[in-house]
Structure 1
Amino acid sequence: MSNEEETKAVGAGTWLRRVPLVGQIAIGLVLGVVLALAWPEGAKSVSLLGKVFVSALKAVAPVLVFILVAAAIASHKRGQETRIRPVLVLYLLGTFGAALVGVAMSYLFPTALVLSVPAAQGTPPQAIGEVLTNLLMSAVANPVTAIMEANYIGILTWGVCLGLALRRAAIASQQMLLDLADAVSSIVQWVIRLAPLGIFGLVAGTLAESGFSALLGYGRLLLVLVGSMLLVALVLNPLIVWLATRRNPFPLVFACLRESGVTAFFTRSSAANIPVNLALAKRLDLDEDTYSVSIPLGATINMAGAAITISVMALAAAHTMNVQVHFVTALLLSIVATLAAAGTSGVAGGSLLLIPMATSLLGLPADVGMQVVAIGFVIGVVQDSCETALNSSTDVLFTAAALAPPAPAPLVPADYHDA
């Protein structure tokens, strides 16, 4: 390579490093669409990049959460406020509000489904009690199994217990745990830097294999679902943040959607997006003792998008079967959707198997509920992507709102910058 060619290569590399990560992801997205349209077979091959990226995130996230939670609690100083309770209140309020939005949109735009598809396979929970029991059993699962299976309720439980036990340990032991947390965080940063390649592979592979032809028959249902999620993301959530902070919420809302929502949209996994959210919380200069717990907890219980999916699709089934749903029943459905969404696993399609429980509340047969689940998997390319983007970005949004500095300081620090 000549000196001139070498200079050009270095210049190109320098230019690329100057582009924020979000900009690099946008470039990867566009290239993925172009490749899928121009060369579908080649696009299927590069989908491996996306699979590797998502697998790497899922692999590092459980270890990161366990060590980060244990280190934060072990080094926590007595009398120092963590403010977890306000975050949990915002999580609950946001999820219930999202369920109400889904119900309202279903009344405004009633949708009929074609229930001739084969019923989906799976065993949905039969009642809220079963969902809550599963959550309790997850909390006391074997810690090694919890890390292996990415059971974040169990990981949080054992991380908190280990952190509490190590609060009496020697300073050197606590520092070693902090150093280990920093090391794992560095590995996470390396993985996140691969996001442009991962998004490129995910977009190209998804478009080449699935396309959008199968979605046209469910266009109205998708419009109601996606419209409800946009309404929550751009109206309800900013309103909640404004009520909690009395400051302009939109810089924070857009930062969370841009940096957390985009990656969550393509990974379709709240669990896989935990490292992205932790890195964003750190750049927002939030309290580590709080966000190290609230972010992974939010990936399990803060499920506004799932609450919308459950309520909208259950009411669509009721409309299809000509079942009249009264206001009190719809309110009860919103409560059930809120509680059921908290038991949704943080993986792709995790909310769909909870739909039969909601349809049974409306008096519909179990087979109807499972057919709606099958429809959910058909439209999952869009529905689950939007749902996960809303779920995951809201974890950081509500954590930042609960930890907001005193007024009139802005919600987004002056020295904040995109990744």
Structure 2
Amino acid sequence: MKVLLFFGLLAIALADNTRFEGEKVFRVKPVLDEHVTLIKDLAKSIEVDFWSPENAEQVTAGTDVDIRVPAIYLDLVYTMLQQSEMEHEVLIEDVQRAVDGQADTGPSPRAHSYTKYNTWSVIESWIDSIASSNANLVSKQSIGNTYEGRTMTILKLGKKSSSSKPAIFLDCGIHAREWISPAFCQWFVNEALTTYGSDAQMTSLLDQMDVFVLPVFNVDGYHYTHTNNRMWRKTRSRKSGSSCIGADPNRNFDAGWCTLGASSNPCSDTYCGATPESEIEVKNVANFIRKNKSVIKAYLTIHSYSQLLLFPYSYTYDLAATHNELMSIAEGASSALRSLYGTRYTSGPGATTIYPAAGGSDDWAYDLGVKYSFTFELRDTGRYGFLLPESQIKPTCEETMLAVKYIAAYVQKNLY
């Protein structure tokens, strides 16, 4: 492994790179323990961006690894791959071209569209508009501000009632760069409102239950991906004593906090934060769910990518007490999703289906007592990864609606 000699010589610190010309996304296929070691050594020596799994520590033999490599390191990586004889392919030839190619119909920064990746300011205006124009079915509530002072607003969908109704909690955009996720939450709200009264299932759902929708969880990070760095993942909080910014909100919940699959390094993309709920966004959501624990019967969180429908646990390999029921629901929902376009999802507990990851929102909600807790990893399986083109928003949201409606119908039938 002579290539290891290059690591120390060529490793340099990169500034926050907002352009990605010449960068590539590789899928490497480690099959030997020495391949795994090599990838981990590479990650320690140069700045690579793990797309799947989410950090070097989660790399195992026999599992594909998707990494974004800056242009200045391409020769090094190609040398490493050649000398190690590790199988690989290039998923994205030029990351900047893929970034530019996401917007299929050209930019429209001010007009909201359900088939575009809207900026935070556009989404914020949409939240106000959708609530005011559907007052009979929608109310909005601030659950607090983000680190940078932006308002976190929940939309409550449901027929008005004099007494509290059982509810489903749905959030999108925990990870800033997963743009298809907030697109789905907006799609869900619109679909629920426009089909109420004509779609029997949706009408029944909103008559009998409420749906709390948080359109963008990590608002600061999402805004930053539109203005500075498309590949940003974390929050934007600052910690004294560290020049690195943000924590991973989906490692910051108090569920096996900072053990498996999470990092205590503030510079890591999977940094668990200084303490559980150190991120104000996480604390705001956790406080809301705790406050409404008596009515929230299901928790759904939308991520990308990999086409997976996961459920607890991710922080341990132990099976959830209701494993069989959760697996049955996930498989039924995945089947409903597949019925539209043939998109195949894999179902199972997070730790064994994808990789162990402590501090996740779904595990935390489940341990709190929210029985039906699921994480969606939407399209695709790596061809575009986080850079899914806008042309795929509509089919992705349409099929995901079928899965969410399947879960909602199950929850509704098993309320009492």
TM-score normalised according to structure 2 size = 0.25
Report which of the two structures shows the higher radius of gyration computed on alpha carbons.
1
**Greater strand fraction, Structure 1 or Structure 2:** 2
TM-score normalised according to structure 1 size = 0.24
**Greater helix fraction, Structure 1 or Structure 2:** 1
Q: Which has the higher contact order (CA 8 A, sep 6+)?
A: 1
